[in-house]
Structure 1
Amino acid sequence: MNSYAVFLRGVNVGGITIRMAELKSALKSCGFSAVTTLLASGNVALLSDLGPAKVKSRFEECLRESFGYDAWVVVLTAARVAEIVDACTYPADDKSTHTYITLSSDPAMLDELFEAGSKPDGANPDGASLHRLGPEALAWLAPAGGTLESPFSKLSSKPRYKSSTTTRNLRTMIKVRDAAGALGES
């Protein structure tokens, strides 16, 4: 069995409400085991014999059938989540900034976001503080209390990126790393 972390896009925002107990039950009925939900924002650790691409496909199909919405997820192995967290040089806790990690199931979309977010322009005169953590992840900083107004947040929330990206703060990524890692140890 492989330990995975699955990050759902757009859950419990924008009219898509899923109770974590219902999500856990649906995923178990779709053949996943040791399903653990973390927080109410769509973070799941689970075990599966399937490879990452098959987990993604089955997981999205399960969400569509069980909850009736156009679901997208990013799937990473527990080991890869740990590598991403370890590669992030930004602080997990800082009073002046918040660290976010944008994950993507499509490296080309993340390349595009990274390039666009790194360019200085009128709204972002110095370019965003972006750090690529691998083909599926990049870290960025936002001022405390100003995440939604930050240029990169506005850029990454465009509909173009909806089906392939999702963002978590670093503190959440650490919790997911710990939960998915614990499943791999059992």
Structure 2
Amino acid sequence: MKYCAFLRGVNVKGTNMKMADVCQVFKQAGMQEVGSVLASGNIVFSSEKKAEDLKGILEKAMSDHFSYEAFLFIKSLEETELFWKNIPFEKNENLHIYAFVGNSGIESVLMEEFEKASKTENEKAEISGEIFYWQVPKGNTLDSTFGKVLGKKSLKDQFTSRNINTFEKILKKMYS
């Protein structure tokens, strides 16, 4: 079965790692057809194991090898396709669209946080197919009130986010 592991907090705030090293850790943990997409912690691989089992195996392998508390979210090819197919917003060159990969139910938590946050013009959020999507004007991602919520320590093991363009690149790698 083909999977993508979405790592949280890679190459930000001092947690730096080369994707070649990450791929090596995955291979040593028994994964096949391992490859990375971008430097933000997207690892495509194959395994006969279930996603729930892989999460524990790979978080431990990553934590042990890189000496940090690893959080990752494993999605099958079919699940990864949904992130691309369910985008509720029109693409616009002035806006970023992010999709959030995480634990079951995190979309409701994120929507609650978004509704409490002050918003900039054209900033929107929507849940589509149990996936939380956030649209924000380019240049406002880290400055927005909701953007600051994303760094909350209490949520660090619950989700990670990717620009939707990243999903297109991941799927190309998964199909090849």
**Match of residue 58 from structure 1:** 57
Q: Residue type matched to 2:93 in 1? A: K
Q: How many Å apart are 1:101 and its aligned residue? A: 0.8
Offset of residue 83 of structure 1: 1.6
Gaps of 5+ in 1: none
SS in 2 for 1:174: helix
Corresponding residue for 2:134? 140
Task: Tell me whether 148-157 or 49-58 shows the greater mean CA deviation.
Answer: 148-157
State how 1:1-186 maps to structure 2 within 5 Å: 2-92=1-91, 94-104=92-102, 106-119=103-116, 123-124=118-119, 129-135=124-130, 137-182=131-176
- Give the Cα–Cα distance (whole angstroms) in 2 for the partners of residues 134 and 112 of structure 1: 15
Q: Could you tell me the percent identity over the aligned residues?
A: 26
Residues 6 and 45, structure 1, Cα contact 8 Å, conserved in 2: yes
Quote the Cα distance in structure 1 between the aligned partners of 2:157 and 2:175: 26
Give the secondary-structure state (helix, strand or coil) at the position aligned to 1:157. coil
In structure 2, runs of 5+ residues without a counterpart are none
Q: CA deviation at 1:125?
A: 8.0
- Give how far 1:150 is off: 1.8
Backbone CA RMSD of aligned residues: 1.9
Which whole-Å CA distance do the structure 1 matches of 2:15 and 2:174 have between them? 25
- Shifted more, 169-178 versus 149-158: the winner is 149-158
**Partner SS state of residue 14, structure 2:** coil
How many angstroms apart in 1 are the aligned matches of 2:134 and 2:105? 18
Q: CA deviation at 1:131?
A: 1.5
TM-score, scaled relative to structure 2: 0.92
Question: Does structure 1 retain, via aligned residues, the 8 Å contact 2:122–2:136?
Answer: no
Structure-1-length-normalised TM-score: 0.87
Q: Which amino acid aligns with 1:165?
A: F
Alignment partners' CA distance in 2, 1:98 and 1:148: 12
C-alpha change, 1:161 and 1:128, in structure 2 (3 Å) is farther
Measured after TM superposition, the shift of residue 128 of structure 1 is 5.3
Deviation per CA, 1:88-131, whole angstroms, max 9, x where unpaired? 02245x22211111111x22333211122134x5x238995112
Is contact 1:118-1:127 (8 Å) kept? no
